């Protein structure tokens, strides 16, 4: 064999081939196809017509898409606040106790490893107007849930988010806890000597010291909340009357119920650009020396 095929550089590429091949085949190539198909009006079979940016124009007129983007935005804001605050407090309280810490950690983390479908079935039952909490209150003679929160326009989105947050916040606890245990103990001792309160120590030592991992968790939440799909699809299918429709659901119904390949690709491309901008933004910040 010629030398350039057997040197270490070439060999190290051979070892990389399988993973690059399978990844290209399943993810990169169809992604590129999507980037091309968004410029067409293809419906899955028949002729492919080039339509330029028509799909994008249509997308900006699409009222349901706008609604879905708005819901995604609310979703992100909810996840950036409620689970983050709860997890920060709980992680901080956990650092203060020794007995039972392992138990609490396991319990909080447990829902994170359960399948979305299982979590949804649990909460659909609990929020059921005739069973679950509704039935229990009814048996006490109290009219509590006359309708499932998943079936009401005003609450559907929040009810779905509740289930997803219930499943997610324990994960954040573990992430923050890891960060908090890396904080130098002597800082707290110094603060004790100065007579700092628990809250002051939390505010002026813990928060600044875990900043890198904290910001990372926020980036993860922003990125993960873009393609959110499972919980909405299982619990409400985006309904009632699109009140819990998110972008991924809109894409899914365009793609697999109406076979609007071009249009669905356009939505996918928008999601990709959005995530790309976020990732690029934080990469830029890091490059500029802003420690994240």
Partner 1 sequence: MATARFRQRSSYINHSILFFMALTIILPLLVLIFNSVKPVEEFGVNPLGFPSEIRFMNYYDAWVNGNYTQIFLNSMTLVVGTLIINLTVSGLAAFSLAALNPRGIQTVVVGLYLLVGISIPAQLYILPLFLMWKSLYLLDTRLGLIIIYSALNAPFATFLIRSYMLQLPTELFEAAKLDGASTMQLFTRVALPLSWPVFLTTALIVSLNVWNEFLFAVTFIITDDYKPISSILFAFQSRFANDYGLVSAASILMAAPIAILFMFFQRRFIAGLTSGATKG
> Taking CB under 8 A as the criterion, which residues in 156-185 touch partner 1?
166, 170-171, 174-175, 178
Asked if 237 touches partner 1 (CB under 8 A), the answer is no
Report the nearest approach of partner 1 to the CB of residue 65 (Å). Answer: 13
Segment lying near partner 1 (by CB under 8 A), choices 48-56, 147-155, 255-263, 284-292: 255-263
Neighbours of 275 (CB within 10 A): 15
Of 104-163, binders to partner 1 (CB under 8 A) are: 104-118, 121-126, 130-136, 139
Report the nearest approach of partner 1 to the CB of residue 272 (Å). Answer: 5
Q: Is 31 exposed, middle or buried (0-12, 13-18, 19+ CB in 10 A)?
A: middle
Report the nearest approach of partner 1 to the CB of residue 102 (Å). Answer: 9
Report the nearest approach of partner 1 to the CB of residue 9 (Å). Answer: 6
Segment lying near partner 1 (by CB under 8 A), choices 66-74, 82-90, 145-153, 181-189: 82-90
Separation of alpha carbons 196 and 275, rounded Å: 41
Segment lying near partner 1 (by CB under 8 A), choices 46-54, 65-73, 146-154, 262-270: 262-270
Report the nearest approach of partner 1 to the CB of residue 121 (Å). Answer: 5
Report which of 27, 32, 34 is spatially closest to residue 255, judged by C-alpha positions.
34
Give the contact letters, 199-228, x = binds to partner 1 (CB under 8 A), - = no: --------------x--x---x--x--xx-
Secondary structure of 75-110 as H, E, C letters: HHHHHHHHHHHHHHHHHHHHHCCCCCHHHHHHHHHH
Neighbours of 167 (CB within 10 A): 24
Report the nearest approach of partner 1 to the CB of residue 243 (Å). Answer: 20
H helix and E strand count, the chain: 16, 0
Of 7-66, binders to partner 1 (CB under 8 A) are: 8-9, 11-16, 18-20, 22-23, 25-31, 33-34, 37, 44
Is residue 103 a contact partner of residue 285, using CB atoms and an 8 Å limit? Answer: no
Neighbours of 141 (CB within 10 A): 6
- Taking the least distance from each CB to partner 1, the nearer of 178 and 200 is 178
Contacting residue, 73, 144, 256, 281, with partner 1 by CB under 8 A = 256
Separation of alpha carbons 19 and 192, rounded Å: 53
Segment lying near partner 1 (by CB under 8 A), choices 61-69, 145-153, 200-208, 229-237: 229-237
User: How far apart, in Å, do the first and last CA atoms of the chain sit?
Assistant: 48
- How crowded is the C-beta side of 226, counted as CA atoms within 13 Å? 18
Report the nearest approach of partner 1 to the CB of residue 229 (Å). Answer: 6
* DSSP assignment letter at 152: S
- With contacts defined by CB under 8 A, how many residues of the chain interact with partner 1? 96
Report the nearest approach of partner 1 to the CB of residue 100 (Å). Answer: 8
Separation of alpha carbons 249 and 242, rounded Å: 10
């Amino acid at each position: 064999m010629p030398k350039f095929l057997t040197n270490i550089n070439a060999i190290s590429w051979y070892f990389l081939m399988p993973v690059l091949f399978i990844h290209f085949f399943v993810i990169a190539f169809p992604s590129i196809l999507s980037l091309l198909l968004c410029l067409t009006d293809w419906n899955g079979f028949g002729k492919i017509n080039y339509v330029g940016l028509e799909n994008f124009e249509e997308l900006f007129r699409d009222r349901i898409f706008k609604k879905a983007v708005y819901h995604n935005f609310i979703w992100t804001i909810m996840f950036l606040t409620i689970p983050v605050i709860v997890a920060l407090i709980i992680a901080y309280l956990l650092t203060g106790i020794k007995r039972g810490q392992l138990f609490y950690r396991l319990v909080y983390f447990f829902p994170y490893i359960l399948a979305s479908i299982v979590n949804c079935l649990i909460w659909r039952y609990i929020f059921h107007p005739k069973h679950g909490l509704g039935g229990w209150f009814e048996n006490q003679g109290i009219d509590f849930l006359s309708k499932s929160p998943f079936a009401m326009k005003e609450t559907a989105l929040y009810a779905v988010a509740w289930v997803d947050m219930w499943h997610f916040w324990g994960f954040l606890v573990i992430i923050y806890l890891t960060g908090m245990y890396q904080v130098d103990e002597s800082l707290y001792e110094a603060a004790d000597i100065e007579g700092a309160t628990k809250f002051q120590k939390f505010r002026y030592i813990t928060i600044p010291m875990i900043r890198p991992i904290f910001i990372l968790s926020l980036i993860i939440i922003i990125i993960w909340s873009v393609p959110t799909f499972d919980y909405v699809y299982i619990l409400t299918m985006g309904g009632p009357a699109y009140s819990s429709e998110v972008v991924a659901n809109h894409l899914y119904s365009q793609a697999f119920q109406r076979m609007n390949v071009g249009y669905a690709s356009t939505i996918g491309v928008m999601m990709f650009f959005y995530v790309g901008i976020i990732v690029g933004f934080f990469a830029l910040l890091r490059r500029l020396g802003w420690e994240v």
